[in-house]
Amino acid sequence: MSADRVIDNPESFFNEALWQLRTLRCPGCGRSDVTLARAGVAARAHHVVYEQEVRRRGGALHDTRNAMGVCDPCHARHHDGTPWRLALSALTAEHHAFAAELLGDSAGDYLARRYGSSTGGGTTYGMASICAGVTVPRSTSSA
């Protein structure tokens, strides 16, 4: 494990989320950081692997690789227990790398249970057409 590469502090974590909103837009609704600011909607730094799970496993709570930029309403909706979820396809290579490092073989299951899939499973998400336009960023920055 390359612990020396891990950036782990709340400010960097939130900045990473903001950067994602700026470049990728909200994975739930497709709005950019500018659009959100104009609408008075707050940005949220979502933990891709949930905070309690990171804590339970003794991982770095503010590892920037685990940060996902999401707008406030989409973030609330993801966590409110209704079937709508942020799409699994919106997760970046870094998100997957962090999950694999922390959760090992169960990473795939963990993420599949918490994020929406476009291929059945009864999971619905209303903004499918917009979500489909969200692409993985930073095409393998050889990290």
Map residue 32 onto helix, strand or coil. Answer: coil
Question: Closest separation between CB of residue 114 and Zn ion, Å?
Answer: 10
Tokens of 119: 């291929």
Tokens of 136: 């993985």
If binding is defined by CB under 5 A, does position 45 make contact with Zn ion?
A: no
Question: Closest separation between CB of residue 26 and Zn ion, Å?
Answer: 3
Q: Which amino acid belongs to residue 61?
A: L
Distance of CA 76 to the CA centre of its chain: 13
Question: Closest separation between CB of residue 41 and Zn ion, Å?
Answer: 8
Site stretch for Zn ion (CB under 5 A), options 8-16, 38-46, 100-108, 133-141: 38-46
Establish how many alpha carbons lie within 13 A of residue 67's alpha carbon, considering only the half-sphere containing its beta carbon.
25
Beta-bridged to residue 16, according to DSSP, are none
If binding is defined by CB under 5 A, does position 28 make contact with Zn ion?
A: yes
Candidate residues 29, 45, 49, 87; the one interacting with Zn ion per rule CB under 5 A: 29
If binding is defined by CB under 5 A, does position 46 make contact with Zn ion?
A: yes
Site stretch for Zn ion (CB under 5 A), options 2-10, 68-76, 114-122, 128-136: 68-76
End-to-end CA distance of the chain: 12
In angstroms, the Cα distances linking 32 to 2, 5, 99 are 33, 29, 26
Site stretch for Zn ion (CB under 5 A), options 17-25, 26-34, 57-65, 95-103: 26-34
Residues of the shown chain interacting with Zn ion in the complex, contacts defined by CB under 5 A: 26, 28-29, 46, 71, 74
